[in-house]
């Protein structure tokens, strides 16, 4: 991890009281950082660092500090809660098993992202709270090359529908047009930009690391938290995420981490 860049622009504000839930208790609500105008820079990390057809090798055991996917002693789980466009919403992210890509040449780690209308905002799926989206995502980490430790994104299935119409994509699609995206650089630094998805016409999200700073996460100040702007040409700004070393995702726009089970 590089030292914080000049003009750190991530600020934290702990405004919620602790809730008696799960393994690590507490809540952090992160101040919404003023959204400035960021240059629409071209991606400066080449997507080939995640390309199995360019000699890159992978492991499904993802331990990148900014996006760890622990499986032992239990599958990692993160719950983020907040209000999205006026609707109380939570997301539950859960590490799963492995899945083969490229005819078995690459073993990926499955991660479920389950989002629901969390009417009582307690981070628990209660009766009558409707599911908003349930997606399965696949990641693997590079084990060779100068960018060893990069987390690469191999695709997703949205709501069980593998069609492109649902926004689903696979890096190893038979069309040959797709390839894995870069999800988390091996050594994240402010100013890095990259394609997270590479499925032309279906999924082409890009990301840029726009700041490093200290944020209160689960009641504890965490330094070296990175702020990532996500965008694509079609939808322009998609939102902002915060990732803390040793934890992973700690904020997704207005949703903030309320529990992490490593």
Residues of this chain that interact with Ca ion (CB under 5 A) are 118, 120, 122, 124, 126
Encoded tokens for 219: 């009641």
- Smaller CB distance to Ca ion: residue 126 or 235? 126
Tell which residue, 45, 153, 164, 168, has the closest CA to residue 109: 153
Q: How far is the CB of 114 from Ca ion (least distance, A)?
A: 12
Q: Nearer to Ca ion by C-beta: 81 or 142?
A: 81
Preceding amide of 73 cis, omega within 30: yes
Instruction: Provide, rounded to whole angstroms, the least separation between the CB of residue 29 and Ca ion.
Output: 18
Instruction: Say if strands 106-117 and 236-244 run parallel, antiparallel, or are unpaired.
Output: unpaired
Question: What is the closest distance, in whole angstroms, from the C-beta atom of residue 31 to Ca ion in the complex?
Answer: 25
| 4-30 b/e (C-beta count within 10 Å ≥ 16 → b) | beeebebbbebeeeeeeeeebebbbbb
Looking at beta carbons, which residue is closest to Ca ion? 126
Which CB atom, from 65 or from 256, has the smaller least distance to Ca ion?
Answer: 256
- Compare residues 53 and 120 and give the one whose CB is closer to Ca ion: 120
Quote the least distance from Cβ 248 to Ca ion, whole Å: 22
Structure tokens that stand for 7 in this block: 């003009």
């Amino acid at each position: 991890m590089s030292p914080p860049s000049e003009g750190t622009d991530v600020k934290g504000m702990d405004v919620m009281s602790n809730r008696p839930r799960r393994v690590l208790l507490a809540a952090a609500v992160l101040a919404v950082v003023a959204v400035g105008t960021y240059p629409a820079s071209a991606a400066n990390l080449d997507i080939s660092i995640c390309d199995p057809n360019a000699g890159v090798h992978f492991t499904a055991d993802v331990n990148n500090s900014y996006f760890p996917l622990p499986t032992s002693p239990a599958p990692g789980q993160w719950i983020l809660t907040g209000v999205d466009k006026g609707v109380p919403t939570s997301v539950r992210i859960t590490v799963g098993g492995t899945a083969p890509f490229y005819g078995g040449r690459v073993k990926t780690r499955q991660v479920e992202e389950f989002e629901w209308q969390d009417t009582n905002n307690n981070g628990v799926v209660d009766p009558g709270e409707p599911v908003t989206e349930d997606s399965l995502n696949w990641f693997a980490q590079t084990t060779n090359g100068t960018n060893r430790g990069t987390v690469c994104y191999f695709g997703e299935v949205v709501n069980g529908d593998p069609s492109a119409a649902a926004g689903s994509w696979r890096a190893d699609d038979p069309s040959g047009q797709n390839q894995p995206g870069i999800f988390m650089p091996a050594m994240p630094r402010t100013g890095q930009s990259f394609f997270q998805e590479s499925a032309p016409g279906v999924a082409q999200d890009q990301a840029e690391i726009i700041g490093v700073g200290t944020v209160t996460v689960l009641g504890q100040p965490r330094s070296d938290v990175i702020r990532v702007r996500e965008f694509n040409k079609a939808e322009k700004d998609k939102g902002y995420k915060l990732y803390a070393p040793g934890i992973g995702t700690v904020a997704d726009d207005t949703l903030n981490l309320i529990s992490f089970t490593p």
